Amino acid sequence: MAGIDLITFVIFVMLFISYFFERSFEAAHKELAKNKKIQQKYITALKEASITDPLTQLYNRRHLDMMFHEKFLKAKANNSYFAFFILDIDKFKDYNDTYGHIAGDTALKAVADVLKDSMRREADSVFRLGGEEFAGILMAESEEKIVRQIETIRTNIEKCAIEHSCSPFGLITVSIGVCILNDLEEENLDKMYKIADSALYEAKTHGRNQIRVGSISTL
């Protein structure tokens, strides 16, 4: 009988140890899964921060290269017109000098909000390049639709009616240079950037508060 009691005791102890280790393993697994989830959230937040402008919450210049490639391929697959534009706030240095940098930041956020509201389609992307310069990528079935959408951005910024005493318009306005392609054989952000930038310069020298289209052809 004593031998049987000893065997029973040993079995009980082994079951208890097994149960203890099983529970400990489950707890450790749950803790590991929880920590992994927290780590993933942290990594995602860091990734978002690395591609986002902190003031306007738009994508930053760093993220433009990757998005350009992705959008170009999509436009090519859909046989769409493909456009890249650069938008610059008119006389923004004068605005900062007159109203202060806090007001300048508020104006930048207002322009960014218009861009967000006007570029909601999956096919659209908008970026802050730095300072008072923004950029956008969009695609559509025709040149007219692209120009119309960009013109809506320009007029909606003007409708914000942000006072700017140094501007001939009395309000904050923007100039926009656009490059539009209808033959998507060559993917080249640098060339499109230069064409859009040249068109932006033309808009500035011809009175500001307007859009100029630099190209509607192959690169």
Average model confidence (pLDDT) across the chain = 88
CA distance 101 to 104: 5
**Better-scored residue on pLDDT, 180 or 66:** 180
Arithmetic mean of pLDDT, 17-38:
71
Q: Where are the alpha helices (DSSP H) in 128-217?
A: 143-159, 189-205
Identify the CATH homologous superfamily for domain 59-216: Reverse transcriptase/Diguanylate cyclase domain (3.30.70.270)
Exposure b/e, 51-74, CB count within 10 A at least 16 = b: bbbeebebbbeebbeebbeebbee
- Report pLDDT digits (tens) over 77-131: 999 999 999 999 999 999 999 999 999 999 999 999 999 999 988 889 999 999 9
Q: Quick check: 57 pLDDT over 90?
A: yes
CA distance 112 to 55: 9
Active-site annotation holds for 187 = no
Domain map of the chain by residue range? 1-51, 59-216
The catalytically annotated residue of 31, 122, 132, 187 is: 132
